[in-house]
Amino acid sequence: MVLGFNEAFIPAIVAGTKIHTIRAGQRWQAGAVAQFYARAQQPDCYEFWGPRPIVAVQAVVLTATALRIDGRPLGPAEQLALARADGFATAAELLAFFADQPMPFHGQLLHWTDCRY
């Protein structure tokens, strides 16, 4: 299955500092193989990282000010850790990235490492 990424995230993914991604919907399952693409669904799309298995999937609910993983609210330190591991400097920056989505946002946190929250 294809995971499309904004090119700004590519260096962090390849360097191993962005270790998961948040996606809308419920289509992903542990064991699925993700193909990492930039410019997905564009004629000039390209795979920037080899296929990786999605080793775990956690349910995510975002609001303008809060994060819940598998139904559990995250405190400020956990929100910051998740945001940084998702390629953002702060939790506020991560939440702002999703500000154009209807709230609350329901989705999935896709892991390709053994990190969990």
Whole-prediction pTM value? 0.95
CB environment 63-92: b (16+ within 10 A), e (fewer): eeeebbbeeeebeeeebbebbbbbbbeebe
Q: Where are the domains of the chain?
A: 2-111
Q: What is the pLDDT of residue 92?
A: 96
Q: What is the pLDDT of residue 2?
A: 96
What is the pLDDT confidence band of residue 90, given thresholds at 50, 70 and 90? very high
Q: What percent of the chain has pLDDT over 90?
A: 97
Q: Among 2.30.130, 2.30.30, 2.60.98, 1.20.120, what is the CATH number of 2-111?
A: 2.30.130
Residues 56-78, mean pLDDT to the nearest whole number: 97
- CA distance linking residue 47 with residue 40, whole number of Å: 9
pLDDT digits (tens, 9 = 90+) for 20-32: 999 999 999 999 9
Retrieve residue 63's tokens.
């609001």
What is the pLDDT confidence band of residue 4, given thresholds at 50, 70 and 90? very high
Where residue 70 falls (left for φ over 0; alpha for ψ -120 to 50; beta otherwise) is left
What is the pLDDT confidence band of residue 96, given thresholds at 50, 70 and 90? very high
What is the pLDDT confidence band of residue 9, given thresholds at 50, 70 and 90? very high
